Structure 1
Amino acid sequence: MKYRFEGNEGERVPKDVRKLIVNPGVEILPYTMCYERDMLKEVILPQGLIKIESNAFGKCSMLPVIKICCTVESIGIYAFAYCRQLQKVEFELLSLSSSSPRLKTINTSAFTMCLSLQRIKIPSSVNVIGKGAFQNCKVLVEAILCTTSITEVPEDGFKECRALQTVSLPKSLERICFGAFSRCTSLVTMILPLDSQPIEIGPEAFYRCKSLSNVLLPKESNAFMSPTDCKRKDTFHSCEVLKRCFGDGGDCIVAGLVARFDNCPFHRLCYDQSSIEAQELCQSTFAERTTKDDESSLVDKFGMTPFHIFFSAPEPCQDLLQVLLDKYPYHTGILDCKDANGKRPLDYLLSNWTGTTKVLFQMLLQRWMVDPLARWGTTSWREDMQRKIQTIMAGHRMESLFDRAYYAFECYEGMGAMYILEMALWKEKLKGERRKDAIKRQALDREQCRSVCGSNIVIPSVKTFLDINHPTRA
């Protein structure tokens, strides 16, 4: 059933509606006007709409997508709460008149218990987010707030978002309030601009954020330390990875996070990608090459490489990835390098899969797993690897398929090393024979040379160290 909402006083949407069209000229969607409409699957909002009031779409359990037009200024309390199938919230950036978004306030619990919401990008016009606005969004992976002008992440703002891995915050931020990210057990990365002001972090703000590691706090920031008679817990209570690295005290953790990238300049550049252009990163790369050993700063104290930092950021930049690949052209071992959370760089990319990250994934595998095989001149190996990568891109079990492709690459790499070793032994034997008889040049075929140069003994002995198996087993 389709229904047109005209905005008449006391008007309510029928229970069995499937498609709701709000007529042009309607400026306010009133309290509970579409509350608990279990069959609603589509909503069309008009330009000119100003306010969505409390519980307007609360418990519309089958609504998958909502597009909020740029004229909306306020989203009310529980406006979309308990919309359990809501996967996507689109904030329209520009209207036909090219005006910028007007949304200022997302009120208390506006999107709480949206159990299917995967990512949220808040418009730049927003300056207030209410208490518990995104609480219990169980599959939310990424929250981008970096362009807003909010001064605080509210109490319980993202509490119990157990799948949340990455959040980016604005330069205007002053406070992270009580329980803001409490029990976000998958949260690894919190990005603040490199030139941010000091922030205050409240009690239990990161309670049980056991994976948190990729954070750089501004200097002079401070965190809540619980007195013995206080029921509220420390800011970083049960942050296991941070405590293993910096110690148990809150002051130690804050000091460690302020100095997070002091000895890792390239990690720092990859951390806040919005603050650096590719050209600047190229210049930094050149300077570092002339002053530092690349290997010495490749892995930080959390086991993270620049690629871990890069891929855990929201909306990673393609140009910056190209710079990284130019800097580390032969470091294919990074693909299998696990950090303190047991994750490889591409694990972060695969868990936040979008059209943009798909391009980055292809780019990286081409550079590190196809191009080396092409340089070795092994056409069949290269073609096999290209087929494996195409299978990954088309598949649904991407992590498993990548593991198999990487295993095959390691096999090819090992066999290449074996061939090089054999050639080196062969060459040394030929040199030795020629030194014995400079006049008589011996013609040795490959099998004979293998025997007389000792490779038939040496190669089997080193194969176990090269971990060589035939790639068709992958």
Structure 2
Amino acid sequence: MSNNSDFQIEDGVLIEYTGKDKDVVIPDSVTSIGENAFYWCGSLTSIIIPDSMTSIGDSAFYECKSLTSITIPDSVTSIGRYAFYGCTSLTSITIPDSVTSIGYEAFCGCKSLTSITIPNSVISIGYNAFCGCKSLTSIIITDLKAWLEIDFGNYWSDSRYNFFLRNNKITKLTIPDDVTSIGNGAFSDCKSLTSITIPDSVTSIGKDAFGGCESLTSITIPDSVTSIGEEAFCVCESLTSITIPNSVTSIGEFAFSGCTSLTSITIPNSVTSIGENVFEDCTSLTSITIPDSVISIGYRAFYECENLTSITIPDSVTSIGDCAFSDCTSL
């Protein structure tokens, strides 16, 4: 237990801060900030964390609404779930190269945060880590390959950003030749991205990998890719055409849903099923040919494709899901 009555410390873990100071310096004896240690400390405006610190626990600064700045030392390796949740006055934060994981909703609701730099040490970013960060417009990446190797879980954001590779805004993205997979949510909602070049080394495109990339107009998928994940290109509103290579055997649910400018798409003979909602709300799609390899068309697969005037369904198809062509008013 610390001699300082404002801090409850046990075995190097800061259990609770009970003081009312606006500016707080954590004692050097602390090695980790425990769960809820500064929970709802409404008066806290700034904090200095000692170099002895290795982790920031779950909900450590939860709803510290007056916190405007914090310096995280190079000794910290993990930022826990909800660590800075609801810190609505936090305008900037530097994540050091030592950090390997950023937890679930770690910065959710930090509505004054405008940009953040993700170091190449980070290997996991939790679900909705930056959700509700209404002012966050820039994500700065220090290493593209390292970024592509991050485990994003399902999703990591709910807003649209400009991505920067070091100091350059990413508009035309070339994936490095040694990358084998594009992870879940890797460039989800990257509003500045206009084109992507994917090398032959890539075999899979993850869930929501490019979902919501509103400026994306073209993409070439190489013959090496075998699977396209759920929502991989959903709501890419500027994408006009796409060719799926013969190597692809599976297309996830909602993969191209909401691609409202998509006028044509080629489905290869390697595909055996068209999943649920895959082309839902592709309102500019006028015609499509389904190859003989397809045996099933999923629920709402072409729902609300209002300009679809013709579709060829082969004899190989044995099942068509409910509402597969509902509200295709031009058919």
What is the CA deviation profile of residues 359-389 of structure 1, one whole-angstrom value per residue up to 9, with x for unaligned ones?
xxxxxxxxxxxxxxxxxxxxxxxxxxxxxxx
Against the structure 1 CA distance between its residues 166 and 17, is the aligned structure 2 distance closer, same or farther, given a 3 Å change threshold? same
1:47 maps onto 2:43 in alignment: no
Partner of 1:114: 110
Correspondence 1:240 to 2:237: yes
Deviations 1:16-68 (CA, angstroms, capped at 9, x unpaired)? 33112111121010010001112210010001101111000111112112211
TM-score using structure 2 length: 0.58
| Offset of residue 91 of structure 1 | 3.0
Deviations 1:304-338 (A, max 9, x none): xxxxxxxxxxxxxxxxxxxxxxxxxxxxxxxxxxx
Deviates more, 1:14-23 or 1:62-71: 14-23
SS at match of 1:149: helix
Aligned pairs, how many?
229
> 1:118-155: CA deviations, max 9, x gaps?
11112232222222222232221221234373513514
Structure number with bigger Rg: 1
Q: What aligned pairs does 1:72-471 form with structure 2 within 5 A after superposition?
A: 72-92=76-96, 101-147=97-143, 149=146, 151-152=149-150, 154-162=152-160, 164-168=161-165, 174-177=181-184, 184=189, 187-189=191-193, 197-198=201-202, 200-213=204-217, 220-221=224-225, 224=228, 234-243=231-240, 247=241, 249=242, 251=244
Bigger helix share: 1
Counterpart Cα distance in 1 of 2:236 and 2:130: 21
Please say which of residues 144-153 and 102-111 is displaced more in the overlay.
144-153
Aligned to 1:35: 39
Distance 1:146 1:45, change over 3 A: same
> Partner amino acid for 1:102?
S
What is the CA-CA distance between 1:207 and the residue it aligns to?
A: 3.5
Alpha-carbon displacement from aligned partner over 1:221-270 (angstroms, at most 9, x marks no partner) = 56636xxxxxx6x4222211123xxx2x5739xx9xxxxxxxxxxxxxxx
* Deviation for aligned residue 1:192: 8.4
Which residue in 2 is equivalent to 1:7? Answer: 9
Distance in 1 between the 2:66 and 2:41 partners? Answer: 8
Indicate how the Cα distance of structure 1 residues 192 and 181 shifts in structure 2: closer, same or farther if over 3 A, else same.
Answer: closer
Which residue, out of 18, 25, 29, partners 2:22? Answer: 18
Distance 1:126 1:15, change over 3 A: same
- 1:221/1:25 Cα in 2 relative to 1: closer, same or farther (>3 Å)? farther
Q: Quick one: which amino acid aligns to residue 57 of structure 1?
A: F
**Counterpart AA for 2:111:** L
Structure 1 residue 204: deviation in Å? 3.7
In the alignment, is the contact (CA less than 8 A) between 1:191 and 1:215 conserved in 2?
yes
Name stretches of at least 5 consecutive residues in structure 2 with no aligned partner: 166-172, 249-331
Partner Cα separation in structure 1 for residue 109 and residue 243 of structure 2? 31
Residue 181 of structure 1 deviates from its aligned partner by: 5.6
- Which region of structure 1 is more displaced relative to structure 2, 73-82 or 167-176? 167-176
Relative contact order, higher structure (CA 8 A, sep 6+): 2
Aligned to 1:299: none
- Displacement of 1:105: 1.5
Q: What CA RMSD, in Å, does the superposition of the two structures yield over aligned residues?
A: 3.7
Cα distance change on mapping 1:250 and 1:143 into 2, 3 Å: farther
The structure with the greater share of residues assigned to strand is 2
